[in-house]
């Protein structure tokens, strides 16, 4: 099968089978005797035991956890399956850039198995491998930010996101690739090079959570965390046919940070399906007093089922065009979902808020924040920071107080327009990027 495959082709074939087709030279066991790719079975109401190791790697995370709790699958089996998948596939796509040593991972998996044998469930991520974005500080595990300045950096603490993953019983399997300093919509850096799209190795996987999205699509991890300033939890999952969500600012606090009131950057989950993404969000979300904008609500609400929710009469807005050019296939794929919502009883109308000044405000505050973060570093390490960082710093230094105050006033006006719009509609449907 050709290495070039559209995501629409992938949906027809089945996600796991499509990825397997692209990386088939490394996955001979996935091809049957006729030379065609066998689609992995999908999980139904009853969780079936996997027939082979590579099936574990494409199961829903919530189903793996159900089997672990029922003692029908061990954490060691889960970990071993993912380590073998990484060995088969990662060299072709370069998604996981720092892998925790196998003996350490298997020791943690053994500890999870021994705990459940004694009746101790470690938490909602009991014994599950988790891929951690290489911007997130991980105690004792190299965290490079994709920068030569940090290529050997080993933190002595975990950021809150990783802290919560571990407290929930998760096992950090390794670090996933990012653009340098997480800046940009493509995933490549001078430390590890590029991460490739698993559906077409000649194409981008998006960024900045590109490594996490690719690792999920290839079955190398069941869950991956990420972060988002301008699309980084949205466009890599979009490009790689997985699922990400940008939570509201403060929903997933992630100290330490020197910009406690900043709302552009957020952290959140990536998964292969909506159920896993919502479940992972329930683990990551929750109040923390170290963040002044932290939302004082528990994350457990996101693990609740929508069964029983009556959508009859719920008003839903379907985007028109947002004043932007659209590839017809993208536009039509989203608009076709109108029938799904109408079948639920929703009232769907074409409508969209006025996003005037949104891009101007975003760029100003992004320039400002990057200058704050890298202005001093740039003075001593100009040759070790890429042109994108240089540009942001230069633009940030041009900003004046009156410019920023007027941008903030425009952003407030934008918020009020969107608030009024969402008082009429409960949901707004549009492409993720």
Residues acting as catalytic residues? 133, 208, 232
Q: What token pair was written down for 182?
A: 């997480």
Q: What is the DSSP string of 316-327?
A: EEEP--TTS---
Q: Which residues contact 414 (CB under 8 A, 6 or more apart)?
A: 355, 356, 357, 358, 361
What's the maximum distance between 2 C-alpha atoms anywhere in the chain? Answer: 69
Beta-carbon count within 10 A of 108 CB: 22
Beta strand spans in 189-246 (E)? 196-197, 200-204, 224-228, 243-244
Question: Token digits for 99?
Answer: 């892998």
Measured distance CA(211)–CA(339) in Å, rounded: 34
Q: How many CA atoms lie within 13 A of 422 on its CB side?
A: 9
Strands 347-350 and 315-318, how do they pair? parallel
d(CA 239, CA 262): 27
The position carrying tokens 């006033």 is 409
């Amino acid at each position: 099968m050709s290495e070039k495959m559209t995501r629409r082709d992938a949906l027809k074939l089945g996600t796991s089978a499509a990825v397997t087709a692209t990386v088939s030279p490394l996955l001979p066991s996935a091809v049957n005797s006729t030379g065609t790719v066998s689609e992995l079975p999908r999980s139904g109401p009853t969780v079936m035991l996997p027939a082979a190791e590579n099936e574990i790697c494409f199961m829903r995370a919530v189903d793996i956890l159900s089997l672990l709790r029922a003692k029908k699958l061990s954490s060691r089996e889960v970990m071993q399956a993912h380590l073998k998948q990484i060995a088969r596939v990662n060299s072709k796509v370069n998604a996981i850039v720092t892998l925790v040593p196998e003996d350490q991972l298997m020791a943690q998996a053994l500890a999870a198995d021994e705990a459940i044998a004694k009746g101790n469930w470690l938490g909602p991520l009991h014994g599950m491998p988790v891929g951690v974005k290489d911007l997130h500080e991980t105690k004792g595990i190299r965290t490079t930010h994709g920068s030569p300045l940090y290529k050997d950096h080993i933190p002595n603490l975990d950021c809150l996101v990783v802290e919560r993953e571990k407290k929930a019983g998760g096992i950090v399997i390794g670090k996933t690739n990012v653009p340098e300093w997480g800046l940009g919509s493509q995933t490549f850096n001078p430390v590890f090079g590029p991460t490739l799209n698993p559906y077409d190795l000649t194409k981008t996987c998006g960024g900045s959570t590109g490594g996490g999205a690719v690792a999920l699509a290839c079955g190398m991890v069941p869950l991956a965390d990420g972060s988002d300033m301008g699309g980084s939890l949205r466009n890599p999952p979009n490009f790689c046919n997985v699922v990400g969500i940008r939570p509201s600012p403060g929903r997933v606090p992630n100290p330490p940070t020197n910009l406690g009131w900043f709302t552009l950057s957020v952290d959140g989950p990536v998964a292969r399906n909506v159920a896993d993404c919502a479940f992972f969000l329930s683990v990551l979300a929750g109040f923390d007093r170290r963040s002044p904008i932290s939302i004082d609500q528990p994350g457990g609400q996101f693990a609740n089922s929508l069964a029983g929710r009556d959508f009859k009469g719920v008003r839903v807005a379907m985007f028109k065009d947002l004043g932007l050019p659209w590839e017809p296939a993208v536009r039509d794929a989203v608009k076709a979902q109108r029938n799904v919502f109408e079948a639920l009883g929703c009232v769907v109308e074409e409508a969209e808020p006025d996003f005037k000044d949104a891009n101007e405000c975003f760029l100003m505050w992004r320039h400002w924040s990057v200058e704050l973060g890298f202005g001093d570093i740039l003075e001593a390490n100009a040759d070790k920071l890429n042109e994108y960082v240089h540009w942001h710093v230069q633009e940030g230094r041009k900003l004046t107080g009156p410019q920023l105050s007027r941008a903030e006033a425009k952003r407030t006006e934008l918020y009020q327009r969107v608030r009024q719009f969402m008082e009429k509609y409960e949901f707004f449907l549009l492409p993720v990027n």
